[in-house]
Amino acid sequence: KEKKIFQIPWMHAARHGWDVEKDAPLFRNWAIHTGKFQPGIDKPDPKTWKANFRCAMNSLPDIEEVK
């Protein structure tokens, strides 16, 4: 926390046991927040949600990936 480091679970959807409700809520909520997904209207598309979130994180100069 002091280092201002955070971790985002990034499970690949092709893995056994992947569940959209368990593994993609951050990406779904981001899509809702940005207006790219409207529950009950749009078809769920977790692959696109995840890609859009990744692009948003990569475009922020003050966020860097730590491996």
Structural domain boundaries in the chain: 1-67
**pLDDT tens digit sequence for 9-54:** 888 877 788 888 888 999 999 999 999 999 999 999 999 999 999 9
- Greater pLDDT, 2 or 39: 39
pLDDT band for 67, please (50, 70, 90 cuts).
confident
- The CA distance from 15 to 61, in Å, is 31
Number of Cβ atoms within 10 Å of the Cβ of 31: 23
CATH topology of domain 1-67: Arc Repressor Mutant, subunit A (1.10.10)
**Cβ–Cβ under 8 Å, residues 44 and 37:** yes
